[in-house]
Structure 1
Amino acid sequence: MDTDLVQTGNNLLDIINWLKEGYIVCIHRSYRSGRMFYKERSLETVTNEEIIYVDVEARPDLLVRDEWPWYIKDAGFCKYKSTNVLPTKEHHFKL
């Protein structure tokens, strides 16, 4: 993707905006567990440039309690089914 990622200071809003731009967002805790979200359940091909990794190690409750996943699903996005892509940290953010 050729656009620069915009960060507003509101991490959840940033994630939803990145999803609207067509990125796949992987919310994870230090690569131990993660969930990927996109506007569709599966894609034919995925490149690492299309994935944004957000490490919530400092706030694991965001995943454990499904807080962010609920808001993301409520905004119209779904959990991405594929786990065949390995992180290259091209677009990687830490809370």
Structure 2
Amino acid sequence: MATHRMKVVYKITYPNGKIYVGKDLTDSINYFGSASDALIALDFTREQRRDFTIRKELLWESGTATDQEVSAKELEFILELRANDPSIGYNRWPKFVLQTTT
């Protein structure tokens, strides 16, 4: 039975509560993004790495969106969830700029 591949935007939540938002154009159940291994490793001790659970949530999916539309939706969620704020998430694009009020 042929299935139509969905394109998805997902959120990964790590045990420390930090998040990573990404997209998957193939809807692979086993894909967990391309966040920086080194960056994530800095937040966990050797002992914490021995029993490590992450959660993957699909935030949005489409069977008809173009790749460009999926990328736009991914960016929208990164900004909305502040996944690019180093205190909240592991996304490093777009660069987080702290908004100050004057």
Task: Mark yes or no: TM-score above 0.5.
Answer: no
For the pair shown, the structure with the greater C-alpha radius of gyration is 2
- Structure number with greater CO (CA < 8 Å, separation at least 6) is 2
TM range (shorter): 0.3 to 0.5
